Structure formats: C-alpha cells, structure tokens
C-alpha cells in the first residue's frame, strides 16, 4: 500500500519528489516536483541550476561534487551513506532526488506550487518557505527510486533516518533518537509540522 502511494504521487510529479535537471538550461524552468523550499535571494546570471541545489539524474549520496549532496548536514550525509551501503547489499541503490537547496531555489519552488495549487495555503502542504525548509538548512533529503524509499521506510530508523511527512514518503531527516526508540510519528503534511509555523 505504501509503495503504491509512492508510485502514485511520484508518478503524478507532485512537489516532494524533486527532479530538476532542466534548471540547467537557459530557458525559464518548468514546474517540477519538490518538497522543501530554499532560502535567501541572490543575484543570478541565469536559470537556477546545480549551484542552487538542483541535482542531475542518477545523483547518489556519494556524489560530493554535487552541491545538493555536498551541502547536506554532515551527520545526515553520514547516516545516508551508511544506509545506502547496507541497502546496496540488498540490491537497492539510493538516488538523491533533492537534498540541500538554496533559498532562491526554494522560493522558486514555492512560487511554482502556489501557481499550481492556486493558493499559498494549499502550496504549503507540499513546499515550505525558504525560512522553514529543512532542505535549505541541509537537514533533509528526498530519496528515490521507489524501492529505495521503501527500503528506508523499513530500515531507516536503525540509521536515525526517518520519514517526516505522510504525503511525502521520499522525504527523510535525521532523528538520532530513532536508533534507540524508532522514528516518531509522521505529520500528515508540512502544515501540521510545528517547525513550519515559526
């Protein structure tokens, strides 16, 4: 059932499963999936790209040259790498669909979500503001493909990796207490997360 939900959501390209490879083009970026916003605005020479946290297809947790991976919190990245190594033993490869994001990138994703969903309130179910996004701080990662997210849902707690939102089963954050106690309950969506109401 959980896998079917992941397939349904990711297959519909909802925000939360970010895959932003076309942000490297010089054209206006198209709407793409994402789960967390980024931070501060800066002057840009063109379209948003890898420097802002967009990750190329096939990026893994071991790709240190990709800013979306390299700018993740060190403890989160270490836990991801340990889990990815264990998952590889089960024939499962982790792909980073989204990791760290710049504030500018996050703001762009939020504007796209407002346009797509018709209101700030509905968009908030999928995309956080740059000020509240765990992606902007480097504290969240969206993991794919479906079998990797499913593997993490079964084994992630032993590495302190926990899902946070029921509507984003690919979104993981580090919860070190989960190693001993298991992952805390998930929020239905980001609007139920007290961190989003700062």
pLDDT one-digit tens code per residue, 87-97: 999 999 999 99
Higher pLDDT, 196 or 44: 196
**Which residue range forms the structural domain that includes residue 18?**
2-197
* Rg, Å, the chain Cα set: 15
- Output the pLDDT for position 30: 24
Higher pLDDT, 181 or 19: 181
Ordered alpha helix ranges (H), 48-142: 67-70, 74-89, 103-117, 120-123
- Output the pLDDT for position 51: 97
- Report the alpha-carbon distance of residue 169 to residue 34 in Å, rounded: 12
120 pLDDT exceeds 70?
A: yes
Mean pLDDT, range 47-72, rounded to an integer: 96
Mean pLDDT, range 163-168, rounded to an integer: 97
Looking at residue 15, which CATH number applies to its domain? 3.30.1380.10
Secondary structure letter of residue 187 according to DSSP: B
Cis-peptide into 145, omega within 30 deg: yes
Quickly state the pLDDT bin for 101 (edges 50, 70, 90): very high
Secondary structure letter of residue 30 according to DSSP: P
- Output the pLDDT for position 91: 98
- Output the pLDDT for position 47: 75
- Output the pLDDT for position 54: 96
Centre a 10 Å sphere on the Cβ of residue 115 and count the other Cβ atoms it contains.
10
Domain total in the chain: 1
The pTM assigned to this predicted structure is 0.78
């Amino acid at each position: 059932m959980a896998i079917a939900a992941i397939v349904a959501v990711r297959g519909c390209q909802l925000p939360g499963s970010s895959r932003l490879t076309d942000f490297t083009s010089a054209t206006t970026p198209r709407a793409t999936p994402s789960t967390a916003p980024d931070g501060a605005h800066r002057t840009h020479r063109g379209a948003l790209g890898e420097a802002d946290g967009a990750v190329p297809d096939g990026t893994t947790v071991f790709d240190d040259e990709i800013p979306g991976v390299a700018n993740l919190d060190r403890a989160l990245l270490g836990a991801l790498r340990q889990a990815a190594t264990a998952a590889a033993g089960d024939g499962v490869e982790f792909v980073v669909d989204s990791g760290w994001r710049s504030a500018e990138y996050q703001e762009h994703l939020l504007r796209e979500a407002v346009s797509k969903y018709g209101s700030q309130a509905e968009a908030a179910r999928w995309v956080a503001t740059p000020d509240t996004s765990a992606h902007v701080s480097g504290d969240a990662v969206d993991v794919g493909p479906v079998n990797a997210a499913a593997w993490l849902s079964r084994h992630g707690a032993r590495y302190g990796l926990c899902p946070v939102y029921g509507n984003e089963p690919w979104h993981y954050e580090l919860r070190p207490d989960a190693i001993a106690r298991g992952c805390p309950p998930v929020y239905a969506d980001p609007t139920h997360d007290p961190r989003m109401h700062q």
